[in-house]
A and B are shown apart, each in its own frame.
Chain A
Amino acid sequence: MSSAFAIEVNGLRKTYGKEQLVAVDDVSFHVNKGELFGLIGPDGAGKTSIFRMLTTLLLPEKGTAKVDGYDIVADYKQIRKTVGYMPGKFSLYSDLTIEENLRFFATVFGTTIAQNYHLIEDVYVQIEPFKNRRAGKLSGGMKQKLALCCALIHKPTVLFLDEPTTGVDPVSRKEFWEMLKRLKAQHITILVSTPYMDEATLCDRIALIQNGKILSINTPQIMIQQYPEQLYAIKADQMYELIKALRKYPEVMDCYAFGEYAHVSFNGSFEDNKLKTYLKTEGLTQIEIKPVPPTIEDYFIKLLKN
C-alpha cells in the first residue's frame, strides 16, 4: 500500500474515565517517510496516549490516523506486523539475558537475529560483551539500547519510541540520538517523544504539545527563527531576588529561570547600564547580562504564555 506519508493523523481525540479527562484533543499532524519526527511536551501532555493510539493499543474516540497507509482501527493487524514500538517504561524481561530477550523478540516477529543484524549492529556491539547478563541488572542506558535493538530486530518501517531517553544519563542520551540519526539512513521513519527540550533540535521536525493539544509544528530551526524578541540571559548572586527584581522592572516583558540564568525579553529599547544600575540598587551583585539565541524551550514557554 502506498501513501505519501508514513504517519497521518487527523483530529485524534481521547478521553479517560467517567470524568472524560481529555488526554488528546483534536490532534492532527503528519510524518513524512524517512523523517525523524519529535513529539515534545512535558509529562501528562498526552504523548503516550498518541503513541498508544498509533500503535493500535488504544482506540481513538474521534478522528482517524494512518500508519504506513493502514488505518489504526480497521487494519490494526497490518500495523502490528510492520511497526516497531518501544514503550515508555522498561519493557523487556528482566529475568532473561540480553541475548535471550533479543532472540525472543526476533522470533515473536518471525525473524532471526542474523537476518537483520546489520540494523542493530551499531547498537548491539556496545552491549554484546554483556550478552549473558540479565536485563534487570543493566544500567538505564544499556537497557534502552537493548530495548531499541528489540524494537528494531524485525526491520520495522515505522519506529515508535516513547520517551526513550527518560531516566538515562546525558552521555547515553547523546549516544542514543546518534543511533537514531544513523537509523534514518536505513529509511526507517521514526516518531519519538521526549520531555527534554534540548533533544528537540535533533529532530527533523517537531510538534510541541501541551494538555493534549498541539501548539506548533515545524522544524526546530524555523521555530527558533520565529522567536520574535531578542532574548537576554541575566545572572546574579541570588536567583530568586533577581527574578523578583526583574519582574518589577517596567520594560521587562517576560522573565523566567533558565538553568543558572534568567531569560528575559524586553518591551521596546533596552539599555544594559540602566538595568545594571537598577539591579545594583536592589542589592544584587555579580551581575552578568548577555544576549542569547532563543531555544525551543524559550519558544515553548512563549507559546504557553499566549
Chain B
Amino acid sequence: MEQFINFVKKEFAHVWRDKKTLLILFGMPVIQILIFGFALTNEVKNSEIIVMDQAKDQASQQIIHRIAASRYFDIQRSVMNNEQMEAAFKKGEIKVAVVFPAGFNESLLHQRKAQIQILADASDPNTASMLTNYVSSIIQDYQNSIDKTAAISYSIVPEIRMLYNPQLKGAPNFVPGVMALVLMLVCVMMTAISIVKEKETGTMEVLLVSPFSPLLVILSKAIPYLILSLINVASILLLSVYVLDLPVNGSVILLFAESTLFIITCLSLGIFISVKTNSQQMAMLISLMGMFLPTVLFSGFMFPIENMPYALQIISNLVPAKWFYLIVKSIMIKGLGFSAIWKETLILGGITLVLLVVSLKSFKIRLA
C-alpha cells in the first residue's frame, strides 16, 4: 500500500512539474467554456411530436393532418392530458407538443381568432426554436388557405412555450458537451501519454523488472488523472453557474457520480491506447482522432443525431460521450433524478466494464 501511495505521489509530481501540461489541463476547460458560445445551426427532420387535441373539430384535424404530412414531424401519438405530455417530454420521447384548446374551430369561426399552444423541449435551444418555427409556419399555411375561401381574415395565435430553458440560452446545450470533451481529452490523452512516456524513456522496463504489479502501475497512473478530472468537472460547473448563469437543476452529487463513471470510461480508453502504441506522438494522434472527433460528431452536442443516416445513428450508440452527454443534460438542465437516467447509466457502465476488461487484459507484463 505504501508503494502504491508513493507511486501516486510520483505521478502527481510529474503532472505538477510539467507546467505546460498543467496549463492545458486546467486552462482548457475554462477556454472551451468561454469559446463554445456560438450558435450552431442545424435542420431537424422527423422530430417526434405529440398533439393534444381537446377540440377535435374540423380546423384542428386539418392542422394535425398538415403536421403529419410535413417531413419535419412524426406524430408519435395523441394524448389527452397534461401529465401524459409532461411524461413524454421528460422521457425525451418527444421534442415538441401542440395543444388545441376545446372549441378551437368555433372560436376561429366566430371570433375570427383562435389560440393554439406549442411546447418545445428547449434544453436543446436550437432544435426547439427551429421546431416551433416549423409548427408556426404550418399553422400560418393553414390560415392562409382558409383565408382564401373566406371574406374576412382569421387569425390563429400560436402561444409558444420553451420548456426547461425559457430564455433559449445556448449554455445549457454546450456545457454538458464541453464537459464530455474536456474529460475525454484529459483522461484519454493524458493517461495514454503518461503511460507511453514511461515506455519511451525506458522506465517501464525497470518497473516491469520489479516486484510491483504491472496492474498497480496502471492504476497508480490513472488515479491522479481521475482526481484532476474531478477538479475539472468542478471548475466547469462553477463557471457555468457563476459566469454563464446556468444553475445545476438536479443533484450535484449525482452529477459527480456520473462524471466519475465517465472518467473511468475514459481512463480505460487511455490505458487501452497506451497498450497499443509505443510513442507519445502516436498516443496523442490516436487520442485526438479516435476519441476527440467521435465525441464531437456523435455525442449529439454539435450535430443532432436524429438527423444522421441510420448507420451513423447506430454507431453513435457506441460512443460513450453520447450517453454521458444525455445524462449531464438530464441532470443539469432538466433537473431529473437517477430514475430518469438509469438506462443511460447502465449503458455507459456496460461500455466502461468492457473497455476496462479489454484494456487490462491486453496490458502486457512483458515488453512484447
Residues of A within 8 A of B (CB): 52, 55-59, 76-77, 79-81, 83, 85-96, 100, 103-105, 107-110, 150-151
Bound-state CA distance A81–B367 (Å) is 17
Report the nearest B residue to A97, measured CB to CB: B13
- Taking a contact as CB atoms under 8 Å apart, the answer to whether A110 and B10 are in contact is no
- Taking a contact as CB atoms under 8 Å apart, the answer to whether A108 and B212 are in contact is yes
A-side contacts of B18, CB under 8 Å: 95
Interface of B, secondary structure class, is helix
Bound-state CA distance A100–B366 (Å) is 26
- Taking a contact as CB atoms under 8 Å apart, the answer to whether A96 and B367 are in contact is no
Within B317-368, which residues are at the interface with A (CB < 8 Å)? 365-368
A-side contacts of B365, CB under 8 Å: 76
- Taking a contact as CB atoms under 8 Å apart, the answer to whether A93 and B14 are in contact is yes
Bound-state CA distance A235–B7 (Å) is 58
Separation in Å of the A136 CB from the closest CB of chain B? 10
- Taking a contact as CB atoms under 8 Å apart, the answer to whether B209 and A91 are in contact is no
- Taking a contact as CB atoms under 8 Å apart, the answer to whether B368 and A80 are in contact is no
Bound-state CA distance A110–B1 (Å) is 10
Separation in Å of the B198 CB from the closest CB of chain A? 9
Report the nearest A residue to B214, measured CB to CB: A80
- Taking a contact as CB atoms under 8 Å apart, the answer to whether B368 and A110 are in contact is no
B-side contacts of A105, CB under 8 Å: 206, 210
Contact with A along B220-232 (1 / 0, CB 8 A): 0000000000000
Q: Does B205 contact A (CB under 8 A)?
A: yes
Q: Does B203 contact A (CB under 8 A)?
A: yes
- Taking a contact as CB atoms under 8 Å apart, the answer to whether A57 and B203 are in contact is no
B-side contacts of A109, CB under 8 Å: 210-212
On whether A85 and B205 interact (CB within 8 A), knowing A57-B366, A80-B211, A109-B210, the answer reads: yes
B-side contacts of A93, CB under 8 Å: 10, 14, 201, 203
Given A52-B205, A59-B368, A77-B211, 8 new contacts (CB under 8 A): A52-B367, A58-B366, A89-B201, A91-B202, A91-B205, A92-B203, A108-B3, A108-B6
- Taking a contact as CB atoms under 8 Å apart, the answer to whether A87 and B2 are in contact is no
B-side contacts of A104, CB under 8 Å: 6-7, 10
Report the nearest A residue to B13, measured CB to CB: A96
- Specify which of B17, B201, B210 is in contact with A108 (CB 8 Å cutoff): B210
B-side contacts of A52, CB under 8 Å: 205, 367
Separation in Å of the B190 CB from the closest CB of chain A? 15
Q: Does B241 contact A (CB under 8 A)?
A: no
Separation in Å of the A29 CB from the closest CB of chain B? 20
Number of interface residues of B (CB under 8 A): 24
A-side contacts of B252, CB under 8 Å: none
- Taking a contact as CB atoms under 8 Å apart, the answer to whether B203 and A85 are in contact is no
Report the nearest A residue to B202, measured CB to CB: A91
Q: Does B207 contact A (CB under 8 A)?
A: yes
Report the nearest B residue to A59, measured CB to CB: B366
Report the nearest A residue to B211, measured CB to CB: A81
Separation in Å of the A79 CB from the closest CB of chain B? 8
- Specify which of A80, A87, A95 is in contact with B14 (CB 8 Å cutoff): A95
Q: Does B208 contact A (CB under 8 A)?
A: yes
- Taking a contact as CB atoms under 8 Å apart, the answer to whether A85 and B209 are in contact is yes
B-side contacts of A88, CB under 8 Å: 202
A-side contacts of B6, CB under 8 Å: 103-104, 107-108
Provide a sorted-by-A list of 5 A–B residue pairs whose CB atoms are within 8 angstroms. Answer: A57-B205, A57-B209, A57-B366, A83-B209, A104-B10
B-side contacts of A76, CB under 8 Å: 365
- Specify which of A77, A90, A151 is in contact with B202 (CB 8 Å cutoff): A90
Contact with A along B1-37 (1 / 0, CB 8 A): 0110011001001100110000000000000000000
- Specify which of B10, B13, B17, B201 is in contact with A90 (CB 8 Å cutoff): B201
Most chain B Cβ neighbours within 10 Å, of A56, A86, A104: A104
- Taking a contact as CB atoms under 8 Å apart, the answer to whether B209 and A80 are in contact is yes
- Taking a contact as CB atoms under 8 Å apart, the answer to whether B209 and A94 are in contact is no
Bound-state CA distance A96–B16 (Å) is 11
B-side contacts of A151, CB under 8 Å: 206
- Taking a contact as CB atoms under 8 Å apart, the answer to whether B205 and A80 are in contact is no
- Specify which of A56, A83, A85, A107 is in contact with B366 (CB 8 Å cutoff): A56
> Which 8 A-B residue pairs are closest in the complex by CB-CB distance?
A91-B202, A107-B6, A85-B209, A81-B211, A57-B367, A87-B205, A89-B202, A95-B17
Report the nearest B residue to A109, measured CB to CB: B210
Report the nearest B residue to A95, measured CB to CB: B17
- Taking a contact as CB atoms under 8 Å apart, the answer to whether A95 and B13 are in contact is yes
Bound-state CA distance A57–B14 (Å) is 25
Bound-state CA distance A79–B203 (Å) is 18
B-side contacts of A55, CB under 8 Å: 205, 209
Bound-state CA distance A108–B208 (Å) is 10
A-side contacts of B209, CB under 8 Å: 55-57, 79-80, 83, 85
Bound-state CA distance A76–B211 (Å) is 10
Bound-state CA distance A96–B7 (Å) is 12
Within B162-178, which residues are at the interface with A (CB < 8 Å)? none
Report the nearest B residue to A105, measured CB to CB: B206
On whether A58 and B368 interact (CB within 8 A), knowing A100-B10, A104-B6, the answer reads: yes
Bound-state CA distance A212–B368 (Å) is 19
Separation in Å of the B314 CB from the closest CB of chain A? 36
- Taking a contact as CB atoms under 8 Å apart, the answer to whether B202 and A110 are in contact is no
Separation in Å of the A157 CB from the closest CB of chain B? 13
B-side contacts of A77, CB under 8 Å: 211
Separation in Å of the A86 CB from the closest CB of chain B? 8
Bound-state CA distance A269–B46 (Å) is 102
B-side contacts of A56, CB under 8 Å: 208-209, 366
Separation in Å of the A212 CB from the closest CB of chain B? 17
B-side contacts of A95, CB under 8 Å: 13-14, 17-18
On whether A108 and B14 interact (CB within 8 A), knowing A56-B209, A87-B205, A91-B201, the answer reads: no
B-side contacts of A90, CB under 8 Å: 201-202
- Specify which of A80, A81, A86, A110 is in contact with B3 (CB 8 Å cutoff): A110
Bound-state CA distance A108–B203 (Å) is 12
B-side contacts of A107, CB under 8 Å: 2-3, 6-7
Within B186-205, which residues are at the interface with A (CB < 8 Å)? 201-203, 205
Bound-state CA distance A110–B208 (Å) is 14
Bound-state CA distance A88–B2 (Å) is 29
B-side contacts of A86, CB under 8 Å: 206
